[in-house]
Structure 1
Amino acid sequence: MRFFFPAYQTREIIASLCFFIFSVWAIISQQWLWMLVPFAILLVPVMIQAAIQHTEKLFWLLMILLPLSTELNITPQLGIDFPDEIVMLLLTGMALLYWWHKPMQFPLTVWKHPLFFWLIIHVCWIAITAAYAIEPLPAIKFLLAKIWYIVPFVLLPVIWVNSISGMQKLAKTLLWPMAFVIVITFFRHATEAFSFESINRHLFPFFRNHVNYASMLVCLLAVLSCAWYLCPKQSVQRKWLFIALLLGLLALVFAYSRGAWLALIAGVCTILVIQKRQMVTFILLAVVAVLVSTAWLVTDKQYFQFAPDHDKTVFHTDFSQHLSATVALKDVSNAERFYRWVAGARMLADKPITGFGPSSFYLHYRPYTVKRFETWVSNNPEHSTVHNYFLLTALEQGIIGLIIFCTLYFFMLMRLQKIYHQLHSYFYRAVTMTVAVILVMIGVINFISDMIETDKIGSLFWLCMGMVMILDGKVKEERASLVSSQ
């Protein structure tokens, strides 16, 4: 090529040819968008090279985007969280390519951690259930999404959040964007006197509804509380953080989410549980309570006692009436939960081993519903799922999938308790407690919702797993430092 065109670079010649070919094709087909292809061919390598050089900045950008991103429907069946999920994809692709060429650079903290072993089993089992899925395409998309959540939030934090300054930066990149959303929501919501009926429309475009908003808010309140706790006493910064904490709690009140309020109470209780080393007892009691109540409900079909009155289960625009209806079991959202839980339990009984496959509940739950539990919102226009992530995991991935996920979740909690009592660092102990509180709150929220697959809560869940690995490494560092000093 250089022999015929000595004055030109090969790349410039190829670019010119591409521009000529696609321009001619655009004129012939009268599809002028083809003329953009040559520019894309030139631009994409530049963008990839820039992204590789600034991968860490891309990671911090992802943290900033989490509270700010919105749901974007590409087709009726395919949606994406924009733009944070695009950044997740980019980070995942670059990380996997890098480790493919340089496997020795894979972080040893992750490789040697027992959580990583269970994480591989979790992903492998999802792949197996996807192979048996009734709807293979949504199942494969679910599997891929699981990977591009795990890499940025579990593996990469071990590289860039593995220090006090890194953890402080992580807190800032999460809290400041969330503060922006809270302020915007406050001003919007105030125009309608903070009414319960209007809260959802004031959250656009950042959150789908008040439940998602309150769920992320209550988790980040734990981060804000940790920052306030670690801040030097009598400092001006501590006073400002206390004011921010009060405003965050006020925002949580006006979010009108009963699940988030319950999660906050559970989070506070977690502090006492870990300090008293009672996490194993706490987990066993929770598991036994669920099993006993489930057995009682199934025996002689006792669950029919909770069948709602179709005409009396309504959505109340006044929050006090909403709470009263909740206590009286006449609230439409709780009644609809029973409707879907019954359907989910019957689906699980039908396919207990591999389940129906990931992302299959909405497409197949109708034949398993019971008419007596139907409400006036059972047409499910939002295409939402069973409203219990543990049940959703069981019916889509089988009992084995549920056991694997619960093992991951409970192992993290027990490990955090152990780490908390082994660490000597005041800072890292506070961070450990915060991670444990967030994990418990996420568990409570997902017992009445299903948000692990969402960018707002799923990101925090997997980030907590990455933090467990980092904090475990800090225990080893302290031990090594103690041995070397002796």
Structure 2
Amino acid sequence: MPSIIYSKWFNWIAIGSFFLGGLWTLLTQEPYWLAIPFILVLAYPLFQFVVTKTEQLYWLLLIVLPLSTEYNFTPSLGLDLPDEPLLIILSITVFAGILYQPAQYKFIFASPIIRWIIALVIWMLISLCYAPNQWLALKFILAKSWYILPLVLLTALIHQQSSNFKKTALYLCVPMLIVVIQTLIRHAFYGFDFVAIKKTMGPFFRNHVNYSAMLVCLIPIGLLIHHFTHPLRTKKLIKIGLAIAFFGLFFAYSRGAWLALLVGMIAYWSIKKNILGKTILIGMITIFIAFVALINNNRFMRLAPEHDQTIFHENFSEHLNATIGLKDISNAERIHRWVAGVRMVAEKPWTGFGANSFYNNYQPYTAAPFKTWVSNNPEHSTVHNYFLLIAIEQGIPALLLFTGFFIYLLLLSQQLYHQFQNNYYRAISLGLGIMLLMIASLNFTSDLIETDKIGGLFWLAAGILISLKHHQQIEKEALAG
């Protein structure tokens, strides 16, 4: 990629900083201001390296995405390492690139996807004005920005080159396969025990939900790699990798991921038949009817668990039976928080309680009959439904905007699949549509868009769809010419 800044710009900045640093030192009698120009001089070689190696850093980001770990520097400050620092560095580079060479981003800013994202960010800023804790809400917006800039804008820019789609698939799937292999080996020493799965995926994943979610979302990408691989020996190796992935998914013991796999199959059939819009509409109507039926005459109170019987089951078959009987502690606790969440939305429907505010506000809205053994929430986790979380923290307008954006991405993937003449791009569009509907399914019982793993895949998919639309436009013009 071309360099995005001339060294003469830096020379002027350095001269200006020397002048201002010296002047401010004279005025304040604080000599440390003189250190700023020297810091800039020392930082310049590093910055020059970043702006000339932007694409290499991007590929490094994709490689470490499945391998990153959460690290808390303080109780209130945590980062995903090493991917989040890379996201921040790349965000600065992209921002500088937009300022210095805006023409290369022209096709990206012309995309409706960017208009949706701008609308989402504008509403975040509006809700920030009404947030009780504006610092928490501002941190949320900043974190969102350093996901969107590299994973949407830079992704769209880099994938103008068709071979980069294959690189993206490999750089995501190979590291994830390594994580799965080490998890299965460690899990085997525990006899693939249900409880032991929590001990085997560290330090790469916090829990089996996050692990299985990323694994199931990358399976369609693995199948694409298999589809486009022609040497027979390599194809056999990929089949072995896919078999390991399915073994890993089974022994992750995650009901949400298994359901997402089924949803992925439905997505495949729906996109092929060009009826994804109808499938989504049926799903939304079903959810709406179920919601209305539950709140009518307080029918939801019938779902209240028996506190002493709602426990964690160490045997997986007992765990599944408890799930069917609504006595499983994880789902019972989800219902406990969903009840609180719906009440919170009713309290502040327009601007919400502010980003990152659910944990600090939800307890007064809970219903006593739904309390479980883990309702004290020692992990400080949220409502376990991303769509509900958006409504709670940013209001119903944010929920409508995000849902509309998600549906647009899904329908765009279907549209591209049926409009492309090129089978390579058709297959990528299909794979993205499957992955996105899986992500939607997972986020009905979790808040995974806010994690680096699934959130990274979601924004990455948005960026790839921008580039695919650009390729489709080029193909269309070539056919017309």
What is the TM-score with the length of structure 1 in the denominator?
0.90
Q: Indicate the residue corresponding to 2:320 in structure 1.
A: 323
Partner of 1:74: helix, strand, or coil? Answer: strand
1:451-462 pair list within 5 angstroms: 451-462=448-459
Q: Deviations over 1:25-84 (max 9, x none)?
A: xxxxxxxxxxx9999666432211111111111111110110111111122122111110
Partner of 1:220: 218
* Alignment match of 2:419 (pick from 419, 422, 430): 422
| Match of residue 25 from structure 1 | none
Alpha-carbon separation, structure 2, partners of 1:380 and 1:370: 15
Instruction: Name the SS of the counterpart of 1:73 in structure 2.
Output: strand
Q: Which amino acid aligns with 2:400?
A: I
Give the Cα–Cα distance (whole angstroms) in 2 for the partners of residues 143 and 336 of structure 1.
Answer: 28
Q: CA–CA distance in 2 between the matches of 1:382 and 1:321?
A: 24
Q: Does 1:257 align with 2:251?
A: no
How far the C-alpha of 1:275 sits from its partner, in A, is: 1.1
Query: Equivalent residues in 2 for 1:29-178 (5 A)?
Result: 43-105=42-104, 107-178=105-176
1:340 and 2:334 are equivalent in the alignment: no
The residue that corresponds to 2:439 in the other structure is 442
Map of 1:229-308 to 2, 5 A cutoff?
229-232=227-230, 235-308=232-305
Letter in 1 for 2:188: A
Letter in 1 for 2:43: V
In 1, are the aligned partners of 2:157 and 2:467 still within 8 Å (CA)? no
1:355-387 CA distance string (max 9 Å, x none): 011111011001101110000011111111000
Task: Describe the SS at the equivalent of 1:316.
Answer: coil
Question: Does the residue aligned with 1:89 lie in a helix, a strand or coil?
Answer: helix
* Alpha-carbon distance in 1 for matches of 2:217, 2:440: 11
Distance 1:283 1:412 in 2: 12
Deviations along 1:461-483, one digit per CA (max 9) or x if unpaired, are: 01111111111112111111112
Q: Of the candidates 439, 455, 468, which is equivalent to residue 471 of structure 1? A: 468
**How far is 1:103 from its partner?**
2.6
Query: Counterpart of 1:31?
Result: none
- Superposed CA offset, 1:102-133 (max 9, x none): 3333x222111111111100011011111111
Report the AA paired with residue 88 of structure 1. Answer: L
Q: Give the gaps of 5 or more residues in structure 1.
A: 1-9, 19-35
Q: Per-residue deviation at 1:318?
A: 1.1
Matched, 1:403 2:400: yes
The answer to whether the 8 Å contact 1:71/1:80 transfers is: yes
Equivalent residue of 2:195, what SS? Answer: coil
| Counterparts of 1:396 and 1:277, CA distance in 2 | 35
Distance in 2, Cα, partners of 1:90 & 1:209: 28
Aligned with 1:366 (options 335, 342, 363): 363
Which runs of at least 4 in structure 1 moved beyond 3 Å after TM superposition?
Answer: 36-43
Provide the rounded CA distance (Å) in 2 between the counterparts of 1:413 and 1:109.
20
Q: 1:172 and 1:202 mapped to 2: Cα distance?
A: 24
Shift of 1:231: 2.0
CA separation in 1, counterparts of 2:310 and 2:42? 56
Question: Which residue of the partner structure matches residue 9 of structure 2?
Answer: none
- Partner deviation per Cα, 1:8-33 (whole Å, 9 max, x = no partner): xx99xx9xxx9xxxxxxxxxxxxxxx
Question: C-alpha displacement at 1:292, in angstroms?
Answer: 0.9
Question: Hey, what's the Cα distance between the residues in 2 that align with 1:110 and 1:159?
Answer: 8
Deviation at 1:98, TM superposition (A): 2.3
| Secondary structure of the structure 1 residue equivalent to 2:456 | helix
CA distance in 2, matches of 1:166, 1:229: 16
SS at match of 2:71: strand
How far apart are residue 344 of structure 1 and its match? 0.2
Check conservation: 1:339, 1:370, Cα contact below 8 A. Answer: yes
1:310 aligns with 2:328: no
Q: How many Å apart are 1:415 and its aligned residue?
A: 1.2
Query: Would the aligned equivalents of 1:161 and 1:170 in 2 still touch at CA under 8 Å?
Result: no
Structure 2: where are the runs of 5+ without partners?
Answer: 1-13, 23-34
Q: Distance in 1 between matches of 2:468 and 2:263?
A: 23
